[in-house]
Structures are given as C-alpha cells and as structure tokens.
C-alpha cells in the first residue's frame, strides 16, 4: 500500500509542478477574484437602448476596476488553442460576456447571446447605439441654451447644468 501512496503523491507533485506556469498574478488580465462570478451585475441600470452613454461609462469603470478592459477593446488577443493561456483567456472572456449580458435588457441580451467574444458584443452595441448620440448632443445643447437660473441658488443652477 505504501507504494501506491508514494506513487499518488509523486503524481500529484508532478501535476502541481506542471501547472505552476498557470499561477496568475492578481494584476494579470487573466486573474479572476474569488468573489467574481458570472451572475454579477456590474452596473446599476441595464442597457435598454436609450441610456447607452451612461451604461457605457458605468461598464468601462467597472471593467477597469476588474482589469478586464482589454477583453472589450481588443488589446487582449485570443491565444492559440494550443497555448497554455488559452483556457485562461476563454474563462475570462466568458466571465466578461456574462457581465455584459447581465447588464442588458432581455431583448438586447437575446440579440447578442451567441456572439463569441466580449469585444464583438462591445462593438455591436457601440455600432447600434452610439449613432443616436448626435440627436442627444443637439438636445443637450438646446437645453443648455434654454436653461435659466431664475430664483435658483447658484448650487442648484450648477447642478442642473451638470445633469445635462
């Protein structure tokens, strides 16, 4: 029996040594914190098509804090499937995909559900919704021109301007 125990122990040590190259630094893009999970909601309001600019900014901040911006902006490239880091990339990409899908309303989520990478979803949403920013920009400019302080305090007036 001692021989099989020694053999099992040796196999376990060999496996651990072979996997040591996969040890991930917490600052590495492939690191996923123990508290991160696919059903997390990263932003307070889901994207419904009318709030793209706010949603985008919130997602950028959240993904930046998790060191995952490279997955949506394309700077973290897909390693080849034979590369030892491919599985790590796949896991992180799937996590970011989940976070994005959780931040979309049901109709939008269904429309991008089968997209393979988080950068492809990001580009798809950008192409769909950043086009409407021209009319929004015009509306904000018009609101600024029409805004009057009246009897408001300077702080209230300033807050109204900032919310535009």
95-150 pLDDT per residue, tens:
999 999 999 999 999 999 999 999 999 999 999 998 765 666 677 778 888 888 88
From CA 40, how far away is CA 69, in angstroms rounded?
A: 17
Specify the pTM: 0.68
pLDDT in tens, 53-66: 999 999 999 999 99
Residue 128, CA distances (Å) to 81, 108, 121, 125 in order: 31, 11, 11, 5
> Residues 138, 144: contact at Cβ < 8 Å?
no
For residue 87, pLDDT over 90 is answered with yes
Phi-psi group of 74: left, alpha or beta (phi > 0 → left; psi -120 to 50 → alpha; rest → beta): left
Instruction: Return the sign of the alpha-carbon dihedral for residues 53, 54, 59, 62.
Output: positive
For residue 43, pLDDT over 90 is answered with yes
Write down the pLDDT at residue 104.
Answer: 97
Q: What percent helix, strand, coil does the chain show, rounded to 5? A: 65, 0, 35
Write down the pLDDT at residue 15.
Answer: 43
Structural tokens at position 84 = 């030892």
For residue 8, pLDDT over 70 is answered with no
| Mean pLDDT of all residues belonging to the chain | 84
């Amino acid at each position: 029996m001692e021989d099989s125990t020694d053999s099992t122990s040796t196999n376990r040590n060999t496996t651990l040594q072979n996997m040591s190259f996969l040890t991930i630094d917490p600052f590495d893009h492939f690191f996923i914190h123990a508290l991160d999970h696919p059903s997390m909601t990263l932003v307070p309001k889901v994207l419904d098509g009318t709030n793209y600019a706010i949603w985008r900014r919130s997602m950028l901040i959240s993904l930046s804090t998790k060191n995952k911006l490279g997955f949506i902006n394309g700077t973290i490239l897909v390693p080849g499937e034979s590369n030892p880091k491919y599985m790590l990339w796949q896991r992180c990409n799937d996590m970011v995909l989940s976070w994005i899908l959780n931040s979309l309303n049901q109709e939008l989520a269904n429309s991008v559900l089968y997209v393979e990478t988080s950068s492809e979803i990001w580009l798809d949403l950008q192409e769909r919704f950043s086009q409407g920013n021209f009319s929004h920009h015009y509306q904000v400019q018009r609101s600024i021109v029409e805004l009057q302080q009246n009897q408001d305090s300077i702080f209230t007036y300033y807050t109204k301007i900032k919310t535009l």
